[in-house]
Amino acid sequence: MARFYFSGRRSHEVTAWRRRLMWWAEAAVLKSMIGLLRILPLKMAFSVGALLGEAFGHLSPRVEKVRRNLRVIFPNAGRDKLERITRASFANVGVAMAELANLDRLWRHRGERVEFNVMPGASVPHRDRQTVFVTAHFGPWQLTPLIGRYYDVPLPVIYAPEQNPYVDRTLNRLRRVFANPLVSRDGGMRMFMRSLGRGESIGLTVDTRLDSGEAIPFFGHPAMTNTAPARLALRFDCDVVPVLAERLPDGRFRVNIHPPIRPSEPEASRDAKVLDMSRQINALFETEIVRHPDQWLCLKRRWPKTVHQQHA
């Protein structure tokens, strides 16, 4: 069971009435933050979001998980560097919240705020070109589903529901700007298969740890990895296309559509192709995370406990 945002206790460890009260209080704080971020000028909203995120980091019971993840990525880094990146990581949480709070404004002013960039070797998304789009919780990742609306591509997007139902409803109202279905992670795979069966595209965020899946190298260590994108693409004979967003100066953004991920050995077995394609996806994420480690939003343990113990 998930923890509360501002408490180290888990939700099942308190009585039902106290759990509802704590959920309500968390939602009230979040709504107040969102309200503030929505009335500020955009650049100021992002700056205030960073300050709020860093303050949240001092209270969050998840701060140690961020440190442990960073120790795996930078095993030779000193304590000062890790602390600096940890603080910046929580500032990034606040910036991401400001971006989500203002998604509708960013979309309305997309001509001056958001650039959609088809990289060399990639193709312009099209409703007749069935695709499995993948992204990571990196940078302004909540802008990546906008490719569906921008290119007029029906694009169901999977998301992880919040443990707090009041927070979950609040965040989903902000995500309505995607103008495409939001699919809960619980049971979402069935809907995705139906969508692919109809010839539609789908979108997944696949950088977090799963309790099941395949152990795929990630920063030199085996990490349970979501191999569903590769399996679905091979099953429905379509491309896997990474989409990653980046922040530009002056409150602007670029959404980069990468070339498709394809098997290195076309004649290999299907299972071998799945592992190979999943490794390629992880390798792309590694490149971006090393460039800007503070922009990777990973508040949960990413590797097996044995790996974290090696870097304790």
The pLDDT tens digits of the residues spanning 166-176 come to: 888 999 999 99
Q: Is 101 helix (H, G, I), strand (E, B) or coil?
A: helix
pLDDT of residue 56: 83
- The tokens of 202 are what? 């789908």
pLDDT of residue 213: 76
In this model, does residue 290 exceed pLDDT 80? Answer: yes
- 117's CB contacts (< 8 A; 6+ apart) are 254, 255, 256, 257
DSSP letter, residue 267: T
In this model, does residue 96 exceed pLDDT 50? Answer: yes
Helix axes of 16-39 and 79-101: crossing angle, nearest 10 degrees: 80
pLDDT of residue 159: 80
pLDDT of residue 299: 87
- The tokens of 159 are what? 């998301």
Q: How far apart are CA 227 and CA 202, in angstroms?
A: 15
- Element at 311 (helix H, strand E): none
pLDDT of residue 194: 87
Q: 182-184 and 221-225: which strand pairing?
A: unpaired
What's the chain's length in residues?
312
Give the whole-number percent of the chain exceeding pLDDT 70: 95
Kindly report the average pLDDT of the chain as a whole number. 91
In this model, does residue 8 exceed pLDDT 60? Answer: no
pLDDT of residue 182: 85
- The tokens of 294 are what? 């503070």
Tokens 């169901």, located at residue: 156
In this model, does residue 10 exceed pLDDT 70? Answer: no
In this model, does residue 281 exceed pLDDT 60? Answer: yes
Residue 182 has a CB neighbour count (10 Å cut-off) of 16
Cβ-contact 166, 126 below 8 angstroms: no
Every domain of the chain and the residues it spans: 11-310
Q: How far apart are CA 297 and CA 92, in angstroms?
A: 8
User: What is the pLDDT averaged over residues 73-87?
Assistant: 93
Poorest-confidence range of 27-31, 129-133, 293-297?
27-31
Q: Is 290 helix (H, G, I), strand (E, B) or coil?
A: helix
Question: Confidence band (pLDDT; 50, 70, 90) for 181?
Answer: confident
Q: How far apart are CA 216 and CA 206, in angstroms?
A: 12
Higher pLDDT, 59 or 267: 267
Chain-centre distance for alpha carbon 25: 25
Q: What is the pLDDT of residues 207-256, one digit of tens each?
A: 988 777 789 999 999 999 999 999 999 999 999 999 999 999 999 999 99
pLDDT of residue 1: 42
Q: How far apart are CA 213 and CA 228, in angstroms?
A: 9
Question: Confidence band (pLDDT; 50, 70, 90) for 15?
Answer: confident
Give the whole-number percent of the chain exceeding pLDDT 90: 72
Poorest-confidence range of 7-11, 119-123, 303-307?
7-11
The pTM score is 0.91
- 13's CB contacts (< 8 A; 6+ apart) are none
Poorest-confidence range of 70-74, 159-163, 218-222?
159-163
